[in-house]
Structure 1
Amino acid sequence: MQKIPAPAQGNHFYRDHVALLIDSYRQLLQRSFLHDIGEDCLGQRVFEAEFALLSHNTDPDPLFNYANLKALELFELSWDELIGMPSRLSVEPENQQARERLMAAVTDKGFVDNYTGIRVSKTGRRFRIDNVAIWNVHDRLGRYLGQAACFSDWTYL
């Protein structure tokens, strides 16, 4: 797999990808998860935000294709470690079937709101995520690009 450079000024912190995540969220949930973040420097502001934002692609075993700093911190992974990793690995093996059902529900409905679940970091540190929104991501032509998740509530277990 080709190495994808980490978000930085030179790639505008993946502003265009972040904008697709935000636009898809607004269309499906009829609200925004951004409250104090304007369009100016959008990519950098979202990358450095105090909420976690992640997305994965449409591969049969979906791979992470974006994570902001807060998500990287929670999962205790670097950009290079997380990007390209199967998103199912963010869940302990015993919880993967429940995650598969959740992601199928997101695919069918378009989104799931107020999800709560357990995740695990690289070092095995478990944490509960609460009030999570998970939604389908589409481009401006309506093509399905994958799914994203956003949350700002977590508790280490």
Structure 2
Amino acid sequence: MSKLARFHSGFGRLANVEQPLVHVCRLCPKYVPLERRGLPRTRKQIQTLAAKKGGGGKGKGNQKKAGSSIADLLKPKEPWERTEVVMQNLILVENHRRKVGSAILEDIEISEMAKALWEAPFAVLSHDKFENEDPVFTYANKAALDLFEATWDELVGMPSRKSAADEPEAQEDRNQTLEAAAENGVIRNYTAWRQSLKGKRFQIKDATLFNLETPTQKKVGQATTIYHWVFEDGTEGGPAASPPVESTERPSDEEIKRAEESVQEQAALVRALKEEHGLGNDDEEVQENVALLLRRKAKLEALQRRLVAAEAAAAAAESESASAAA
């Protein structure tokens, strides 16, 4: 025992000693020298063995890996990765299901919900009404931050009353909506004027406001989902916005063929990244190429709709001409 510089109790651990290393084990009645177990005896032997196996040592590769791990640990987390945000999202999702009567997002695993809600195409916000006399925003997803022209740190913690114009009429209208939701549990399809942190005004449409309650039925806030918004210049946004008017001109066969080949080429690239390179859906390169694939598919579908519409219009015109001739 006098040779032990440091002692760690526990099964299967190694303790440092001045000369030979010993194996410390609760199941062993004595400290058994490592040479009897065929294990390296000294620190130098351990370093040599580790170097042969590709581990340990002081190689540059290990330094880079260690540095990368430390950098990953020190990297600030995205809002959706924070524990308190995840827990808040779970309350929001459950209350949407109970109050609104539907899932806020379909076919999403609960473990992926925080990220999916953060990346949703519609705006999601919440504030701590019932908990604060002057409620502040407690959550805003990426679409909401873009809409209000703010960062997470700028919007979250800001009094939610500042989302409306600082005018008596605008504030009174907003307060009436909040109180109606507080009493009824949910308000659907409401419309109101709001403003970004940079002063840009927009009208929210197809919005739903609902209360947030804990499993013990304690009211802790309200959340809103916004699917459609219109700026003062008429520009629309959100997944429920009116789609842009597509051209009615018939696309050429060559144009459709090129679009089909483009989709097939991109789909093959995505498959290769997964099957040949072993990348998964969470890898950035896969996500970028899947996004490009979806854009190419959307372009092909738009061309196909134009073709169908053009052929229908041509058939209708031919039928009308035949009727007029008769």
Q: TM-score, normalised by structure 2?
A: 0.45
Aligned residues: percent identity?
35
8 Å contact 2:80–2:118 — kept in the other structure?
no
Equivalent position amino acid for 1:129 in 2? I
C-alpha separation between the residues in 1 aligned to 2:156 and 2:78?
9
Higher relative strand content: 1
Correspondent of 2:95 among 9, 24, 44: 24
Equivalent position amino acid for 1:84 in 2? G
Higher relative helix content: 2
Following TM superposition, by how much is the alpha carbon of 1:150 offset from its aligned partner in structure 2, in angstroms? 0.5
Q: Per the alignment, in what secondary structure is the counterpart of residue 93 of structure 1?
A: coil
Which residue of structure 1 lines up, in the alignment, with residue 36 of structure 2?
none
Which residue of structure 2 lines up, in the alignment, with residue 60 of structure 1?
133
Which residue of structure 2 lines up, in the alignment, with residue 7 of structure 1?
79
What per-residue deviation string (whole Å, max 9, x for no partner) do you get for residues 131-154 of structure 1? 101010001121111100001211
**1:1-150 equivalent positions in 2, closer than 5 A:** 7-9=79-81, 11=82, 14-57=85-128, 58-94=131-167, 95-150=170-225
Q: Per the alignment, in what secondary structure is the counterpart of residue 41 of structure 1?
A: helix
C-alpha separation between the residues in 2 aligned to 1:151 and 1:38?
22
What per-residue deviation string (whole Å, max 9, x for no partner) do you get for residues 27-63 of structure 1? 1121123135332311111111111000001201101
Q: Per the alignment, in what secondary structure is the counterpart of residue 111 of structure 2?
A: coil
Following TM superposition, by how much is the alpha carbon of 1:155 offset from its aligned partner in structure 2, in angstroms? 1.2
How well do the aligned residues superpose, as a CA RMSD in angstroms? 1.6
8 Å contact 1:7–1:13 — kept in the other structure?
no
C-alpha separation between the residues in 2 aligned to 1:127 and 1:35?
28
Mark the runs of 5 or more structure 2 residues left unpaired by the alignment.
1-76, 233-326
CA 1:52–1:148 in structure 2 vs 1: closer, same or farther (change >3 Å)?
A: same
8 Å contact 1:91–1:118 — kept in the other structure?
yes
Q: Per the alignment, in what secondary structure is the counterpart of residue 79 of structure 2?
A: coil
C-alpha separation between the residues in 2 aligned to 1:153 and 1:38?
26
CA 1:101–1:59 in structure 2 vs 1: closer, same or farther (change >3 Å)?
A: same
Mark the runs of 5 or more structure 1 residues left unpaired by the alignment.
none
C-alpha separation between the residues in 2 aligned to 1:13 and 1:137?
15
C-alpha separation between the residues in 1 aligned to 2:184 and 2:80?
34
Equivalent position amino acid for 1:69 in 2? K
C-alpha separation between the residues in 1 aligned to 2:228 and 2:107?
17
Q: How many residues were matched structurally? A: 152
